[in-house]
Amino acid sequence: MSSQALQMPRWMDLVLLPLWNLLIALLVAGGVVLLIGASPWQALTVLLEGALGSARGLGYTLYYTTTFIFTGLAVAVAFHGGLFNIGGEGQATLGGIGVALLSLWLGPKLPAVVMLPLAVAAAALFGMLWAAVPGYLQAWRGSHVVITTIMFNFLAASLNGYLLVNWLRPAGSMSVESSDFAPSARMPAIHELAASFGWELPSSPLNLSIVLAVLACFFVWWFLWKSRAGYVLRAVGANPSAAHYAGIRPRWQVLAAMGLSGALAGLVGINEIAGVQGKLTLDFVAGAGFTGIAVALMGRNHPVGIVLASLLFGVLYQGGVEVSFEVPGFSREMVVTVQGLIVLFAGAMAMVSAPMFAKLYTLVSRRARQAEGKSHG
């Protein structure tokens, strides 16, 4: 995820390149749709209609967006600290476990105004701790954070399965999930809130977590670019040895970057477990941790870009479900393919298209300067 300094204006780097990468990914995906004998145009219209054409569809889209904002921010914060956190999946799982343990314990005793902030804190804390261990191992023991976080994803899935099967599953229940939380531990759904103000909205999983996601965006922006701690974190990410000379201890910054990253990923637990499920389930993260990588790459690791990229993936995920209902032979895994292609083109092959644009820009600007020179001469 490194980029060399290339000669090009900011709008090209921040707007044109992501759009170009998206276009290529969509073109390849369109080719796959043609290959399986469906019409890409029909798929696209059904996708947009399904994701944005109705209040219900929009609710689902924004619900997916909420989760992707959390995981996208998580990847971005780690990236600014010079780390690649592939462990969003596991950290989100732990966040959900934290929410569930607290809600099952205190949910029946506490009112929602106390319970929900505590649940948010538990999600962040559990995610933070799960990410801090790989951070510590990288900073002090020299094991690479990429490998460790991959391992921790599997460990989180095992832990979740163990807790559900052996401890949290109600006696006599066949399905592997915990008992339902008390109503005070449920994040209120937007359509319920709207109904209490007399505004009828179709039911969707969209809940108050989206407000939390927006707050998280503002916090990450403030932290990274306006706070001293964020400056230190970015300094280490940009050049650890220079930061060390400037009196910063890089090890603690690795820990801080991973901790904050994990806390953000852990908040997925609020949206999925407290907001939608109302109980702990197996595999509720469902790949969102990996979608966060694509989101951060598309969003250029900036909160504004991450919100836009999360919306894009929200549209793809919700629309993809609709397309799989409407278009025969089409499956929603197409979205995972598109996601992979975006990571490929915007991430792994970023150095293929960026130099091309830089060259093009240099060429055009030189032409323009020559033309200007002639008209003045």
Partner 1 sequence: MDEVLIGSVLASTLRVTTPLLFAALAGLLSERSGVVDIGLEGKMLAAAFAAAAVASVAHSTPLGIAAAIAVACAMSALHGFACVTHRGDQVVSGVALNMVAAGLTVVLGIAWFAQGGQTPPIDAAQRLTGLLPQWAEPVPGSWVASVLGHGLLSHNVLVYLAFALVVAVWFFLERTRPGLRLRAVGENPAMVDAAGVSVPRLRYTALMLNGVLCGLGGAYLTLAQNASFSPNMTAGRGFIALAAMIFGKWKPLPTLAACLLFGFLDAMAIRLQGVSLPGIGEVPVQAIQALPYVLTVVLLAGFIGQAVAPKALSKPYVKER
Indicate the length of the chain as a whole number: 377
Report in angstroms how near the CB of residue 5 gets to partner 1 at its nearest: 15
Query: What are the structure tokens assigned to 279, written together?
Result: 């109980």
> Which token pair is 113?
């105004």
328-356 b/e (C-beta count within 10 Å ≥ 16 → b) = eebebebbbbbbebbbbbbeeebeebbee
In angstroms, rounded to a whole number, what is the distance separating the alpha carbons of residues 280 and 269?
Answer: 9
Say how many C-beta atoms besides its own lie within 10 A of residue 267's C-beta: 29
Binding track, positions 287-316, relative to partner 1; x by CB under 8 A? ---x--xx--x-------------------
Tell whether residue 211 is a contact of partner 1 (CB under 8 A): no
Q: Are 181 and 104 in contact (CB under 8 A)?
A: yes
- Residue 155 near partner 1 by CB under 8 A: yes
Listed in sequence order, the residues at least 6 apart from 167 whose beta carbon sits closer than 8 Å to its beta carbon are none
| 112 is a contact residue toward partner 1 (CB under 8 A) | no
Q: To the nearest whole angstrom, how small is the minimum distance from the Cβ of residue 274 to partner 1?
A: 24
* CB distance 258 to 132 below 8 Å: yes
Q: Does 348 bind partner 1 (CB under 8 A)?
A: yes
One of 27, 114, 229, 349 touching partner 1 (CB under 8 A):
349
Describe the crossing of helices 88-106 and 112-141 by its angle, rounded to 10 degrees.
140
36 binds partner 1 (CB under 8 A): yes
Residue 144 makes contact with partner 1 by CB under 8 A: yes
Question: What does the DSSP assignment read for 105-170?
Answer: HHTTTS-HHHHHHHHHHHHHHHHHHHHHHHHHHHHHH---HHHHHHHHHHHHHHHHHHHIIIIISP
Structure tokens that stand for 104 in this block: 């099952």
β-pair partners for 177: 281
Report if residue 158 touches partner 1, rule: CB under 8 A: yes
Told to check if 162 binds partner 1 by CB under 8 A, we report: yes
Contact 126, 94 (CB under 8 A): yes
Q: How far is the CB of 324 from partner 1 (least distance, A)?
A: 9
Asked if residue 154 binds partner 1 (CB under 8 A), the reply is yes
Q: Choose, by CB under 8 A, the member of 176, 337, 357, 361 that binds partner 1.
A: 337
Smallest separation (angstroms) from partner 1 to the CB of 155: 5
Query: Is residue 229 at the binding interface for partner 1, with CB under 8 A as the rule?
Result: no
Cβ 336 to partner 1, closest distance in Å? 3
Q: Which of 166, 196, 241, 375 binds partner 1 (CB under 8 A)?
A: 166
Residue 136 CB, nearest approach to partner 1 (Å): 9
Q: Calculate the alpha carbon distances from 215 to 61, 73, 272 in Å.
A: 19, 12, 17
Q: Is 351 in the site for partner 1 (CB under 8 A)?
A: yes
Which position among 56, 106, 336, 357 is part of the footprint of partner 1 (CB under 8 A)? 336
CB contact at 8 A, 274 and 187: yes
DSSP per-residue letters across 72-104 = HHHHHHHHHTT----THHHHHHHHHHHHHHHHH
Q: Give phi and psi for 207, each to the nearest 5.
A: -135, 180
Beta carbon nearer to partner 1, 54 or 143: 143
Q: Which is nearer to partner 1, 25 or 216 (CB)?
A: 25
- Establish if 167 lies at the interface with partner 1 (CB under 8 A): no
Residues binding partner 1: number (CB under 8 A):
52
- Rule CB under 8 A: is residue 130 a binding residue for partner 1? no
Among 118, 350, 357, 361, binds partner 1 (CB under 8 A): 350
Which residues are near partner 1 by CB under 8 A?
A: 1-2, 32, 35-38, 84, 86, 137, 141-144, 146-148, 150-152, 154-155, 158-159, 161-162, 165-166, 290, 293-294, 297, 329-331, 333-341, 343-344, 347-352
